[in-house]
Structure 1
Amino acid sequence: MRRAACPRGFTLIELMVAIAVMALLALISWRGLDGMSRAQTQNRERGDAVLTLQTTLSQWTADLDATIALAQTQAIDWDGRVLRLTRRGPDLTQPVVYVVAWTLRPGADGQLRWYRWQSAPFVSRGEWRQAWDRATSWAQDGGSDARGADTPLMPLQGWQLAYFRDNGWGPAVSAESLGADTAMPDGVRLVLDLPPGQALAGLLTRDWIRPTANVPKS
């Protein structure tokens, strides 16, 4: 009479090999999931940065498009620190004007940011002069009465401007200090220096052409 064979189990070595394989598979799977999570985070941050940049540049273009030249006022002025614009209101049925300013200064977190400031609406030349001077005080961080009308836009390391006049690009100069032409140039070139380590980094150039300008296509 033959004895029934006992079922054979796993040896200790086989169990250790199986555990090691499962641990390796778990590690590979975790790294894959971690990589996917980081990629999704980076894509989301980049998408948010692109949306912020597009919104900011849309506002920049809207301000330049709405800039007007009034008698005994300046339409545009750049002193190397702040750009000031005299622009009409969005509602063409109401004859009101604003002063808008753009500058670069540290934010609440100490990081340099691009800021936009807009005055209250006005209708007289005296109010324009007050708003024009207040924009300079705001840019120098000394005009506390101008607070509340500024908006932090995006991190920025630096920015430069150039004007298109007489069929050529040249440096943007201060009309007040140099007695330069105070009329609106045919074009404004904006160069942004986006800081490293952000979702968007490097130099970005944006050209604006005055809608009524008659310049060569080149």
Structure 2
Amino acid sequence: MRKAKQALQQSGFTLIELLIAVALMAVMAGLGWRGLDGLVRSREVNQSRVDATAVLQTVLAQWRSDLDHLALVPGINDAGLAWDGQTLRITRRASTPLANGSDAGLWVVAWTRRDGRWWRWQSNALRDRTLLLAAWGRAERWGKNASAEDQNFETPLVAIDQWQINYFRANAWTNALSSSGVLPSAGNTTPISAAPDAVRLVIQLKPERNASAPKGRITLDWVRPNFSNSKT
């Protein structure tokens, strides 16, 4: 009887052993929680990077779409676009047709940099020449000093430090401002007021609080769909 009682006592755990076991379990739980927290944070950073990149890609896709749907309007916008060093204005075909399937008309679109951010402005779809001319002038005013009413038609985009526009005409890249005042070279019958063969966009992304957001300089070339660089 005494031997059985002693064996029962020896098979249990002492208080010290229990405390050590509890301490080890606490350490393991802490390490496991830290590992889980690290995984969650890593996932959040990756998702933030993916989201920021997706936003930038959407903005650049919109830029291409505006140029792809460029529309020349004689007497208002002979080249389809106009750059004043601060704002780029574009007349483009509206991409959303009317309910009956007919052409919705034209949009006047403008891009500018304000307060360290890229902005886009878009008018309503217009089919009247007088209204189109008014929207063209309104887009210019918006780029210089946006009124409260004009701000209802604008969209904030990505943060940028600076941006630049170049045109490709007569087989050469030139500053979009200087090219407007250059006469055609001998033998070149392409009028300067015509739409450029290509447009080069250069933007310097501005660092944001989101450390995972895209950074650096981006150069994006758009080429007129019917452009041919063949030489005779």
| TM-score bucket (shorter structure) | 0.7 to 0.9
Question: Which residue of structure 1 lines up, in the alignment, with residue 122 of structure 2?
Answer: 118
The answer as to whether partners of 1:42 and 1:199 remain within 8 angstroms in 2 is no
The two structures, once aligned, show a CA RMSD in angstroms of: 2.6
Provide closer, same or farther for how the CA distance between residues 209 and 51 of structure 1 changes in structure 2, counting only shifts above 3 A: same
Give SS of 1:173's match: helix
Counterpart in 2 of 1:87? 92
Q: Does the 8 A contact of 2:104 with 2:125 survive in 1?
A: no
For 1:203 and 1:159, how far apart are their aligned partners in 2? 9
| Matched residue, 2:173 | 169
Q: TM-score, normalised by structure 1?
A: 0.82
User: Is the partner of 1:70 in helix, strand or coil?
Assistant: coil
1:118 partner letter: Q
**What secondary structure sits across from 1:68 in the alignment?**
coil
Bigger shift: 79-88 or 148-157? 148-157
Gaps (5+ residues) in structure 2? 184-191
Count of residue pairs the alignment pairs up: 210
- Report sequence identity in percent: 42
Tell me the residue number matched to 2:201.
190
CA distance in 1, matches of 2:222, 2:113: 20
SS at the partner of 1:190? strand
Task: Provide Cα deviations, 1:98-147, integer angstroms capped at 9, x if missing partner.
Answer: 211011223xxxxx332111123333443333212211221223333323
Alignment of 1:97-116 (within 5 A): 97-106=106-115, 112-116=116-120
Instruction: Output the TM-score relative to the length of structure 2.
Output: 0.78
- Kept after mapping to 1: 8 A contact 2:45/2:212: no
Which structure has the larger Rg over C-alpha atoms?
A: 2
Q: Is the Cα–Cα contact under 8 Å of residues 76 and 183 in structure 1 kept in the other structure? A: no
> Which residue type is aligned with residue 215 of structure 2?
A
Higher alpha-carbon deviation: 83-92 or 97-106:
83-92
Contact 1:79 1:174 survives alignment (8 Å): no
Return the match for 2:133 from 124, 129, 134.
129
Asked whether 1:152 is paired with 2:163, we answer: no
Question: Could you say which residue in structure 2 is the equivalent of 1:141?
Answer: 145
